[in-house]
Amino acid sequence: MAQPNKQNLALFDLDNTLLAGDSDYNWSLFLIGEGLLDAKTHQERNEQFYQDYKNGTLDIYAFLEFQLKPLSQHPKKFLDELHLKYMDKVIRPMMTEKAQTLVNQHKAAGDLCLVITATNSFVTKPIAAAYGIEHLIGTDPEMVGGEYTGGVEGVPSFKEGKVTRINQWLAARGQQLTDFETSYFYSDSHNDLPLMKMVTNPVAVDADETLTAYAKQQGWPLISLR
């Protein structure tokens, strides 16, 4: 008979959860500020997609086509250098002490820690690393010959897609969600309810109205990392 996994699993959403802001939305604003995107056309669409996300009506593939296209217009080496500037100028001011403390507590307990985010992994992997989290599931931009194509590889980690992706990730490690006696998922968004309902310990973090109402109804903890 298989022994239960003594290690706990701690899953973290990134935007507006570990970060006091949205790395995807701000990446577009950063590119506009750097003169790499047209302000008028891009900013309006960026705002609309962000509202759709908050309203739960986002067409993820339309958004990804919009969001990943700029990656296909520049060499990866240039994008990596640009991201260093983005981290310093935009992301580090959004990283909160409370979020880092929470991550550190889970790491100190020996928990398996993972950031799972709808935002693409080019933008988010360095952010997860800055929090000291080795593992990341993000929406993966397609690459051919070491450069981004503007397309998507695999299932976007959004809504039910997060459930699919965590199951795939664990399966590749010879594990499944039910192997963990205790599993946490920290999120701010009602878009994450499909995965929040799967873990033993869902936690609403600086949550939107829909998630706040649902969490109260279910008796889930509501916390702030701001």
In this prediction, residue 6 carries a pLDDT of 86
Q: Which of 13, 22, 24, 140 is catalytic?
A: 13
Q: For 6-146, where are the E strands, in sequence order? A: 9-12, 112-120, 135-144
Which CATH code for domain 9-223? 3.40.50.1000
Prediction pTM value: 0.95
In this prediction, residue 1 carries a pLDDT of 43
In this prediction, residue 40 carries a pLDDT of 87
52 is catalytic: no
Sign of CA dihedral 26, 32, 36, 37: positive
199 forms beta bridges with none
Neighbours of 197 (CB within 10 A): 12
Rounded CA-CA distance 172/163 in Å is: 14
Rounded CA-CA distance 169/221 in Å is: 26
In this prediction, residue 163 carries a pLDDT of 98
Rounded CA-CA distance 141/71 in Å is: 9
Burial of 107 (0-12, 13-18, 19+ CB in 10 A): middle
**Domain boundary assignment for the chain:** 9-223
Sequence-distant (6+) residues with CB within 8 A of 83 are 122, 123, 126
Nearest residue to 24 (alpha-carbon basis) of 61, 76, 63, 56: 63
Q: Which of 15, 140, 188, 206 is catalytic?
A: 15
13 is catalytic: yes
Written as tens digits, the pLDDT of the chain (226 aa) is 445 558 999 999 999 999 999 999 999 999 999 999 999 889 899 999 999 999 999 999 999 999 999 999 999 999 999 999 999 999 999 999 999 999 999 999 999 999 999 999 999 999 999 999 999 999 999 999 999 999 999 999 999 999 999 999 999 999 999 999 999 999 999 999 999 999 999 999 999 999 999 999 999 999 999 9
